[in-house]
Amino acid sequence: MKIGLFGAGNVGGALGTSWVKAGHDVFFGVKNPAAKDTQALVSRLGSRARAGTLQEAASFGEVVVIALPWQAAFDALPKLNVSGKVVIDCSNPPAALPGGAVSGVEALARLAPGAKFAKAFNIIDGTKLHYVRGGSGCPVMLLHGYPETSYAWRKIPSAGPDNARTTRAPDLTWRSQSSCRDRWVRRTRRAVA
């Protein structure tokens, strides 16, 4: 598959690398295709990767993936032709959205009415969530309450008979082994001090 990927930073670079390894062709659309980091990424990935402008990436891709800051995507989309394409939005929108939109992807979709939008691959402030997994089959997400952790689900390795479900129980951002626990604790201490 040909994938037009807007952005080659942390998210775009990771997604593009995974897709090239899976045998897809990736075109990174970036502000400066000649930038050292972008060229190093493309060189490392080999013949299945290239870089150019956002419009070149939009034209190249059967699927277009937005891995830019939300405002940059919002500003760029009206100038790009993504009509008839599936567009996957990975951006994190601001708290206040324009035009009464209820979600960031809805606001972006309004800018390209001929495209089909989906939301996926989001991160918040670079947070990595620790989780435990059990069973196999259709996924089920088990969320703990406060002040628990994923340990609360230790006796439920799978949901249903014969491991008919794959369970995933994440430690929410302020608990246990998730990466922003210390940041959350520091912010909370400052807020109550």
Model confidence, pTM: 0.68
- Residue 126 domain-assigned (yes or no): no
Amino acid 163: pLDDT: 56
Number of structural domains found in the chain: 2
Of the candidates 97, 92, 96, 139, the one whose C-alpha atom is nearest the C-alpha of residue 120 is: 92
- Residues 26, 81, single domain; the answer is yes
- Residue 124 domain-assigned (yes or no): no
| Residue showing tokens 């295709």 | 33
- Residue 85 domain-assigned (yes or no): yes
CATH number at residue 94: 3.40.50.720
Amino acid 93: pLDDT: 84
Amino acid 133: pLDDT: 67
- Residues 9, 88, single domain; the answer is yes
In the listed set 96, 119, 142, which residue is the last one of a domain according to the structure? Answer: 119
Amino acid 97: pLDDT: 82
Domain region containing 14:
2-119
Neighbours of 178 (CB within 10 A): 19
Consecutive 10-residue averages of pLDDT for the chain (193 residues): 96 94 97 97 98 98 95 95 95 81 87 92 62 68 64 60 63 54 49 47
Amino acid 144: pLDDT: 61
